[in-house]
Structure 1
Amino acid sequence: MSRLTITWTLRRHGWAFCKVADDKGEVEVFASYVTDGPEQFLHAVTRLAVTDTEARAEFEGEPQVYRWLFRRKGADVDICLLRADDSRKPDSSGVALWSSRHTITTLRRAALRAFDQVAYELGEDGYASQWGRPFPRAEVETLRTALHAAPGQSRPQPKDSAPQA
């Protein structure tokens, strides 16, 4: 499998551009701060890393919406990025902009690199000032902990999920 790159760039107050690329192609979508798109994305990747086989996240593009659909099969994750006309439209009405398959480790590392890079470049205060919401530190650290947990060890539960019995 190829290298996966995710880039999260703040260009104007309240607007971010997210570029995803691998050897199958690349696409850039944008997100508004009116929803918690970065937190949804990081939470979805963490859920896949910890317990779930399916997850999703949404970036509000006003008026369109960009949806990340993830389906884990063993160590691999099928990823599809869709554009829908608005948040009320079902996934089936959306247009696939990019899709690929990567290992969960590759996906987790790409997500962490994206937000570590923006934290390095802007600092958390600069991020908050430009984005209009706080830097998603808790979500980044939960994903980082999931990345380093060895198989068989207790793994962190994503925020808003019940502990596993």
Structure 2
Amino acid sequence: MSSLGITWTLGSHGWASVKVTDDHGEAEAIASYITGAPEEFLYAVARLVLGEEDTRAEMEGEPQVYRWFFRRDRSMVDVRLVLADDAKAPDSSGVVLWSGRHTVTALARAAIRAFDRIHYEQGEEAYESQWGRPFPRAELEALRIAMRSHQRATAANGTVTETGR
């Protein structure tokens, strides 16, 4: 199983770079504050943790759009990051920038770590000042709650956690 990393780095006012890496490759997406990209991404991952099989999140790059497609198969998630020409382009269009297969736990932990790092390094006030929107506190907490629920369910079933730990 390859390691997964996600970083969310704020750039100039209202812009962020989102980088995804694993042992097989990496890609970078650009996000603008004109949409709720961090909130949408965190909620999509939370829905996966709670058992949803297919979901997506979108990041507006003005004019391009970066789309995250997630397909869950039991404890595994196939993830694709796709660049499309604009928000009106159909989901079937675009160029795959990165794809990977990871456990739902690894994906959720990578997302939580990304936003915990921002919170630790910048704090909510500086984040809001630089991003132009409030820190996605509620969405991050929703993902944490989903993870705790997932971990309790896994333990109650007497199964080994997805990471083998």
TM-score, length-scaled by structure 2: 0.91
Q: Secondary structure at the match of 1:34?
A: coil
Gaps in structure 1 of 5+ consecutive residues: 154-165
Q: 2: distance between equivalents of 1:8 and 1:93?
A: 25
Quick one: structure 1 residues 97 and 152, their matched pair in 2 at CA, closer, same or farther if it must change by over 3 Å?
closer
1:56-135 equivalence runs, <5 A: 56-135=56-135
- 1:146 shift after superposition: 1.2
Aligned equivalent of 1:26: 26
Deviations 1:39-83 (A, max 9, x none): 000000000101310110000000000000000000000000000
Deviations 1:133-154 (A, max 9, x none): 000000001101111221079x
Aligned equivalent of 1:42: 42
Deviations 1:89-131 (A, max 9, x none): 0122110000000000000000000000001111000100000
Aligned equivalent of 2:148: 148
Aligned equivalent of 2:160: none
Aligned equivalent of 2:15: 15
Q: Secondary structure at the match of 1:146?
A: helix
Q: Secondary structure at the match of 2:19?
A: strand
Q: 1: distance between equivalents of 2:51 and 2:2?
A: 24
Runs of at least 4 residues off by over 6 Å: none
Identity score, percent: 61
Q: 1: distance between equivalents of 2:131 and 2:92?
A: 30
TM-score, length-scaled by structure 1: 0.91
Output the amino acid matched with 2:53. Answer: T
Q: 2: distance between equivalents of 1:38 and 1:103?
A: 21
Q: 1: distance between equivalents of 2:122 and 2:11?
A: 12
- 1:29 shift after superposition: 1.1
